[in-house]
Amino acid sequence: MDKKLIKFNLSQRHNKFPKIAIGDVIRVHRTIKEGEKSRIQAFEGLVIAMKGKQSSSPTITVRRVSSGIGIEMIFPIFSPVVTKIEIIRHSKVRRAKLYYMRERFGKAAKMKAVELTNEEINFYSKPNKNDKKDEKKKPVKKEKVAEKEEKTTDKKKDDKAKK
């Protein structure tokens, strides 16, 4: 591929997602439109292949087993449909494509886990302005609920004592 074309493709990317590698267990959040409504659905699985690393829209193949049936989905990483990608676990792998995982299940499909780096942990713990507002509200609500529970338990004890 021409160097100018590679440079252009790399400039079209954004740094919204962490670096994904083969063997990672990831959770991909994507928007799904159903009529006029839209919702976010998560798909969690093992990255078994990555294609088009130098293009402006590389794709990853994510595999998971649901009810004994293997499901594979191909996601374009920089698509506007993909809203968020979370890395759950890294695995030690020695191949570029893990197609052999299709035949494996159970204990044979187990892979050796590698710990996440501090950069990856901090990538997900960036505080949002909305999160700070929610944190202030949550403890107040929990205290009110706890007070109500104490009152109800006292009433139940009093009722039992009267009977």
Pair (18, 85) in one structural domain: yes
Band of pLDDT at residue 78, cut at 50, 70 and 90: confident
Pair (47, 102) in one structural domain: yes
Pair (14, 75) in one structural domain: yes
Flag whether pLDDT at 77 surpasses 90: no
Q: How big is the CA angle at 72 (ends 43 and 85), to the nearest 5 degrees?
A: 35
Pair (81, 108) in one structural domain: yes
Pair (7, 68) in one structural domain: yes
Pair (38, 113) in one structural domain: yes
Highest mean pLDDT among 98-107, 140-149, 151-160: 98-107
Pair (91, 147) in one structural domain: no
With pLDDT > 70 as the criterion, what percentage of the chain qualifies?
A: 72
Beta bridge partners of residue 47, listed in sequence order = 62
8 A C-beta contact, residue 56 and residue 7: no
Output the domain CATH number for residue 21: 2.30.30.790
Pair (137, 119) in one structural domain: no
Q: How big is the CA angle at 126 (ends 60 and 63), to the nearest 5 degrees?
A: 20
Q: How many domains does the chain have?
A: 2
Band of pLDDT at residue 14, cut at 50, 70 and 90: confident
Please give the pLDDT value at position 110: 78
Pair (65, 16) in one structural domain: yes
Flag whether pLDDT at 146 surpasses 70: no
Pair (142, 84) in one structural domain: no
Pair (120, 45) in one structural domain: yes
Please give the pLDDT value at position 89: 87
Domain containing residue 155: 129-163
Pair (105, 47) in one structural domain: yes
Helix, strand or coil, per DSSP, at residue 53: coil
Q: What is the mean pLDDT of residues 51-61?
A: 84
